[in-house]
Amino acid sequence: MRRPSKDPNTLAVHAGDRKKPADCTPVSTPIHTASSFFYDAVEELEEAFEERRPGSVYTRFGNPTTGAFEEQIAALENADFGQATSSGMSALHLAISAATTDRRRSIVAGNSLYGQTMAMLTKVLEPQGLEVRFADAFDPEKFEETVAEARPAAILLETITNPLLRVPDLERLVEIARRHDALTIVDATFTTPVMLRPLDLGVDLVVHSITKYIAGHGDVLGGMVLGRDELQPVVRYLARTVGAVLGPFESFLALRGAKTLPLRFERQCANARILAGELAAMEGVERVYFPGDPAHPDHEIACRLFPDGMFGAVVTFDLEGGRERALGFINGLEMAVPATSVGDVHTMALYPPMSTHRDLSPKHRQRLGIGEGIVRFSVGCEGVDDIVADVRQAVAKTIPAPVGG
């Protein structure tokens, strides 16, 4: 406080506040909750506004805690910048908006995307005038035909699809996009920068739901868009103007969580690989979907794109007996958490027809290859023997006792 006062009202508002830290460095990034920032002279504020000097002015434009988190993930992704957003969905919305600003208002999307992404495309963006076409990303020739016809501003893909865990040939699809002057947006939530750095393959914008592996502890909702310098101005401008940015508390939690992302994710992938092998031999399990399985349709692509032995940390399987057994299995779990998410430190199980794919009719699900006995398992960091034992006992409960036995 520059002006002395004895008035308790003034003292309560100003005394002690805004003390610059002494000349020492905290070992972790403080949570800067301030919504606005000021400088010794107001001219400096103007310089900060115009980005002629580093420094924050207003938290919607940028915040030191959020900035630290953005820098952390951009470094992991080999990106020039990261823009943190309030959720994975707002990150997808931001990436699509950026890719279609001052370009053709048209997009071609892979046809087995996250349910809410499909809903955003068809129920929000299409009615607003975006031309949306879907194409089979697992049939690159057909995909290219659609791209050639639609001449989209961008194509939109996921690195591993949900819940059947298909892996599109990103290198080939990026080539197709480039040939037709389209940008490539990739939702890389399921691979994380530990397993794949799509920008290195020529992808233009990477999107993450921070909520999942990156924050990793089931206590943050957030997202991020990452890319190269060319797209930074439009992404930043849209983020600050539309305003769905990540708050400093969430940024702090995500920054803290992501410090152990490589450790957690390597452990989770290793656990998932073991579980997938065990499931394949379990009585009561009809089919296992896991890109590490040599019989998986995209196994070769996964081996080419991902580091040795890493195939993601989600395992999906079909139980014999359909819906009733699948629900019985989930209710029978004694350690895994029956919750709607992926990527947390704890193992989670989910029934897609009731959660991620609940908006689709059983017929539509069948067409996508999603049967009624399906279970999606997000493998956590627990001891793998405990995970396998929990699954084994819950599967055993779903097997009916022999009649008269």
Ligand X SMILES: *Cc1c(COP(=O)(O)O)cnc(C)c1O
Residue 213 near ligand X by CB under 6 A: no
Query: Considering the complex, what minimum distance in angstroms separates the CB of residue 158 from ligand X?
Result: 6
Instruction: Select 244 or 388, whichever has its Cβ closest to ligand X.
Output: 244
85 and 246 in contact (C-beta within 8 Å)?
A: yes
Distance between CA atoms of 53 and 164, rounded to whole angstroms? 48
Closer CB to ligand X, 209 or 398, in the complex? 209
Binding span for ligand X by CB under 6 A among 6-14, 135-143, 183-191, 254-262: 183-191
189 binds ligand X (CB under 6 A): yes
Residue 87 or 184 having the CB closest to ligand X:
87
Binding mask 87-106 for ligand X (x = CB under 6 A): xxx-----------------
Total Cβ atoms within 10 A of residue 278: 18
Return d(Cα 325, Cα 315) in angstroms, integer.
17
Structure tokens at 96: 């699509």
Q: What residue number has its CB nearest to ligand X?
A: 88
Does residue 352 bind ligand X (CB under 6 A)?
no
Minimum distance between the CB of residue 81 and ligand X, rounded to whole angstroms? 20
Interaction between residue 251 and ligand X (CB under 6 A): no
Q: What are phi and psi of 369, to 5 degrees?
A: 85, 15
For the bound state, the minimum distance from the C-beta of residue 250 to ligand X, rounded and expressed in Å, comes to 11
- Asked whether position 221 contacts ligand X by CB under 6 A, the answer is yes
Task: Identify which of 190, 234, 248 has the alpha carbon closest to the alpha carbon of residue 70.
Answer: 248
Nearer CB in complex with ligand X: 284/352: 352
Please select the residue that binds ligand X; options are 56, 65, 209, 251, rule is CB under 6 A. 209
Among 212, 267, 296, 376, binds ligand X (CB under 6 A): 212
Residue range at the interface with ligand X (CB under 6 A); choices 93-101, 145-153, 205-213, 228-236 = 205-213
Beta bridge partners of 225: 83, 207
* Strand order, beta sheet including 285-289: 285-289, 314-319, 374-378, 348-350
Tell me which residue of 215, 227, 265, 209 sits closest to 78, measured CA to CA: 227
Nearer to ligand X, 88 or 292 (CB): 88
Which of these ranges, 53-61, 85-93, 120-128, 274-282, lies near ligand X under the rule CB under 6 A?
85-93
* Footprint (CB under 6 A) of ligand X, residues 58-77: none
Cα separation of 367 and 306, whole Å? 28
Give the residue with the Cβ less far from ligand X, 187 or 278. Answer: 187
Binding part of the chain for ligand X, among 74-82, 123-131, 185-193, 298-306 by CB under 6 A, reads 185-193
146 or 378: CB nearest ligand X:
378
Q: Which stretch binds ligand X (CB under 6 A): 26-34, 82-90, 169-177, 257-265?
A: 82-90
Considering only residues 114, 138, 252, 311, which one is a binding residue for ligand X as defined by CB under 6 A? 114
Interface size with ligand X, residues (CB under 6 A): 15
* Of residues 63 and 189, the one with the C-beta less far from ligand X: 189
Q: Site map for ligand X, 134-173, x if CB under 6 A?
A: ------------------------x---x-----------
Chain residues in the site for ligand X (CB under 6 A): 87-89, 114, 158, 162, 187, 189-190, 209, 211-212, 221, 223, 342
